Amino acid sequence: MSGDQEAQDDELLALASIYDEEEFRRAESGQEGEIYLCLELPPNFKLLVNGERPVEYDVSFLPPLVLSFELPENYPSTSAPVFTLSSKWLSRLQLSALCKQLDKLWKENQGSVVLFTWIQFLKEEALEFLGLQSPLEITGSKSDRCKNEAAAKPAEGLEKRKQQQELDPRAVLEADPQADLLPQLLDFDEAQRQKVFDGKPFCCGICFSEKLGSGCMLFKECQHVYCKACMKEYFEIQIRDGNVQCLNCPEPECTSVAMPSQVKLLVGEDDFARYDRLLLQSTLDRMADVMYCPRKTCCMAVMLEPETTMGLCPSCRYAFCTLCKRAYHGLSHCLPTADELRNLQEEYLAANKEEQKFMEQRYGKQVIQRAVEESFSRQWLEENSKNCPSCGTHIQKTQGCNKMTCSSCHQYFCWICLAPLSKVNPYKHFNNPNMPCFNQLFQGLEDDDEFISDEDE
């Protein structure tokens, strides 16, 4: 075995021992392979998307650079590795600058294996070499996508040379130049974060058992972690009770809410279908311009038009009044039901000026006034009269004994207990020791002035 061949085998074995299969992939035959290099981002690294309102996103990972290489027979003694460098988020101009730097490193180390040197440079120094700092600006879907908002700090005169040099054929842009880059970057960052989370141990705040992140759930807003078994049971109980708005973090006073995608992963299909339906319904209920069709056989959500009281169901085509929920009656006031009319006075007097104005618009001032007057009449009668036990006529009493005669049906009855009395001997009721009103025929005559009777004896 030649010295070059032995050096190549040793280098490839060393790389295989340092990096796992996701980072280093060697071809089954031949001295070639691919190295996936995730650049080390500083803490609190951000992506900046410019537009009408600039938006920043925190990221911990960016898609890797891919270094594809093939080792010639006379490497490392004479020739350098043949390579290409590709990326989804760096421009070809930036990749070309990195390719030139790899050539420079080879010249400085010619005669020695260089792949590990290249890897270390790309992982640890590429951002600084290109002058890329946080926030990294995403400029759109053109070929040159990313640039540094701050002043670039590459090797001296790099920006001027970038404008003059030709693109290196070894620099490969993996992404479609017309595709939206931001979702790809955010999806990769999310996947890598989840991968790191899955491998860490956590203590569940409910059952206090320690489990790997792959068996736990993370609330995104607050970063609190609980095991999936506890959260599954908690979610199922809340959903079955109809509390779909309460799937929040169990930590006391924490307001973080579980995402629908997290709920779907934990509960069964039936529970999630119920959760999804109730969540949609509660969302529609909170929307001021949405109302449900009053027909019980329909109940379709109806979008309301501004400045009109008519709703038109898109499903059953029922036209209804948005105020009273009955058939649309044009510009006429809503006709209150008997129950609504009885409660109208209390609601009107307890309402503020805006609410009173709305009620007057809905029912009309005359209806409101009549309801108030009738309510006061009912209240006076309830406080100052009693009903005949036979026909229900209101009876008012001012003086006399407790044997009463109804002016409507002429029934005799006791004012104290409202029991009907015999027409032959109505006073027997007050003379019978076994009756509760025994000897109370004239009871209350001294303080009976507040009653007004239709008829008494």
Q: pLDDT digit string (tens) for 15-25?
A: 999 988 888 99
pLDDT higher at 198 or 399: 198
Q: Please state, in angstroms and rounded to a whole number, the distance separating the CA atoms of residues 213 and 227.
A: 8
For residues 363-389, average pLDDT: 74
Note whether residue 329 is domain-resident. no
Same domain for 308 and 277: no
* Token duo for residue 1: 């075995």
**423 three-class SS:** coil
Give pLDDT tens digits for 279-335.
877 776 666 778 888 888 888 888 888 878 888 998 898 999 888 888 888 877 777
- Token digits of residue 214: 């792959």
In a domain, 327, yes or no: no
pLDDT digits (tens, 9 = 90+) for 247-281: 889 888 888 888 888 899 999 888 888 888 888 77
Helix axes 365-384, 338-350, angle to 10 degrees: 90
Is 326 part of a structural domain of the chain?
A: no
Give the separation between CA 239 and CA 139, rounded to whole angstroms: 43
* Most confident region among 156-160, 278-282, 328-332, 366-370 by mean pLDDT: 328-332
User: Does 398 lie in the same domain as 301?
Assistant: no
Compare 311 and 362 and report the one with higher pLDDT: 311
Q: Examine the domain organization and report whether 354 and 393 are in the same domain.
A: no
pLDDT tens-digit series, residues 59-77: 999 999 999 999 999 999 9
User: Same structural domain for residues 90 and 160?
Assistant: yes
Q: What angle do CA 377, 383, 388 make, to 5 degrees?
A: 90
- The H or E element containing residue 181 is helix 181-198
**Three-state DSSP class for residue 275:** helix
Residue 129, pLDDT score:
92
254 is catalytic: no
14 has a pLDDT exceeding 70: yes
Instruction: Name the band, by pLDDT with cuts 50, 70 and 90, for residue 161.
Output: low
**Residue appearing with tokens 């005949």:** 388
Please give the DSSP secondary-structure letter assigned to residue 299: -
- Please state whether 34 falls in left (phi above 0), alpha (psi between -120 and 50) or beta: beta
pLDDT score recorded for residue 149? 36
Q: Are 389 and 420 in contact (CB under 8 A)?
A: yes
pLDDT of residue 164: 46
Based on the domain organization, do 135 and 18 belong to the same domain? yes
In the chain, the number of structural domains is: 5
Same domain membership, residue 170 and residue 64: yes
Q: What is the pTM of this model?
A: 0.54
Residue 69 CA to residue 304 CA, distance in Å, equals 64
Return mean pLDDT, the chain: 82
Please tell me whether residues 231 and 158 are part of one structural domain: no
User: How many angstroms separate the CA atoms of 72 and 50, rounded?
Assistant: 45
Q: Span 240-248, mean pLDDT?
A: 81
Residue 445 is part of which domain span?
387-457
pLDDT for residue 224: 92
Q: What is the pLDDT of residues 89-148, one digit of tens each?
A: 888 899 999 999 999 999 999 889 999 999 999 998 999 999 988 888 876 444 344 443
Domain stops at, among 187, 215, 240: 187
**Does a structural domain hold residue 48?**
yes
pLDDT of residue 457: 41
158 pLDDT band, cuts 50/70/90, is: low
Element (H, E) at 119: helix 115-124
Residue in 401, 406, 414, 437 annotated catalytic: 401
Distance CA 344, CA 381 (A): 18
Contact of 387 with 373, CB cutoff 8 Å: no
Q: Are residues 114 and 157 in the same domain?
A: yes
Residue 253 pLDDT: 86
Last residue within a domain, chosen from 187, 209, 231? 187
Q: Mean pLDDT check: name the lowest of 178-187, 211-220, 357-366, 386-395.
A: 357-366
- Enumerate helices (H) and strands (E) in the chain, giving the number of each: 13, 21
> Is residue 343 situated within a structural domain?
yes
